């Protein structure tokens, strides 16, 4: 009964509700949720309002880029609209955050495609739930010459890369996979810049 979580019931109802909502966020444990809630309790009304508005703004103004499916407030997104990017190269990632990881390496100047997940029979996620159809459609015009499968180096990520690769190879595209060296079972999002840059540079035919 000494779990910090158990004290939640003794907090005033609105505070308990806030703690509960914060606890739903990824990476926020019971203790963290309490700390955040009491921090917000001490914040000025303006500060609290700014945070609440930022959250609502994201929901209202952010959509998916019609080209790469990345989250964006302009369509096409800034990367797709950038004339300096190499349009013959598309890096396929699982999540929008993976784009930030690849961008941090400064070693990639092509475009992206976000799948919004990976194939996972265990969780009932098949290719039809991912942005695979959108990928195949955008490759039709022949501008793209190489697709780099930068899905996570875990079971689901490998299965996703293999599945999509099978569809792409008959199109006469070069299909590559990030080189080994990324921690197996890991997440692209958390890979350090150098390791990810090297994996990109040494990518191999799928």
Binding site for Zn ion (CB under 5 A): 65, 67-68, 70, 76-77, 80
Return the sign of the alpha-carbon dihedral for residues 22, 27, 28, 30.
positive
Instruction: List Cα–Cα distances, 121 to 12, 124, 127, 151, in angstroms.
Output: 42, 5, 10, 16
Cβ nearer to Zn ion, comparing 18 with 90: 90
Comparing CB distances to Zn ion, the nearer of 43 and 58 is: 58
How far apart (Å, rounded) are the C-alpha atoms in residues 147 and 4?
A: 48
Q: Are 147 and 92 in contact (CB under 8 A)?
A: yes
Running DSSP on this structure, what letter comes out for residue 180? B
Nearer to Zn ion, 110 or 157 (CB): 110
Evaluate whether 156 touches 120 at the Cβ level (below 8 Å).
yes
Smallest gap from residue 133 Cβ to Zn ion (A): 16
Min CB(63)–Zn ion separation in Å: 11
For residues 65 and 196, which CB has a smaller minimum distance to Zn ion in the complex?
65
């Amino acid at each position: 009964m000494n779990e910090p979580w158990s004290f939640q019931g003794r907090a005033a109802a609105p505070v308990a509700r806030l703690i509960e909502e914060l606890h739903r966020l990824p990476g926020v444990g019971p203790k963290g949720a309490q700390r955040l809630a009491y921090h917000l309790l001490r914040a000025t009304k303006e500060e609290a309002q700014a945070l609440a508005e930022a959250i609502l703004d994201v929901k209202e103004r952010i959509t998916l880029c019609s080209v790469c499916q990345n989250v964006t407030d302009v369509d096409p997104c800034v990367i797709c609209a950038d004339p300096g990017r190499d349009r013959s190269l598309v890096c396929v990632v699982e999540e929008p955050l993976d784009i930030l990881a690849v961008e941090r390496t400064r070693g990639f100047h092509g475009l992206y495609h976000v799948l919004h997940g990976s194939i996972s029979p265990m969780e009932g996620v098949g290719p039809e739930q991912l942005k695979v159809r959108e990928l195949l459609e955008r490759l039709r015009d022949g501008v793209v010459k190489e697709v780099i499968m930068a899905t996570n180096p875990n079971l689901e990520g490998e299965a996703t890369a293999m599945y999509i690769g099978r569809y792409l190879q008959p199109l006469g595209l070069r299909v590559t996979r990030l080189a080994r060296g990324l921690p197996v079972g890991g997440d692209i999002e958390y890979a350090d810049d150098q390791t990810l840059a090297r994996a990109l540079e040494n990518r191999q035919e799928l």
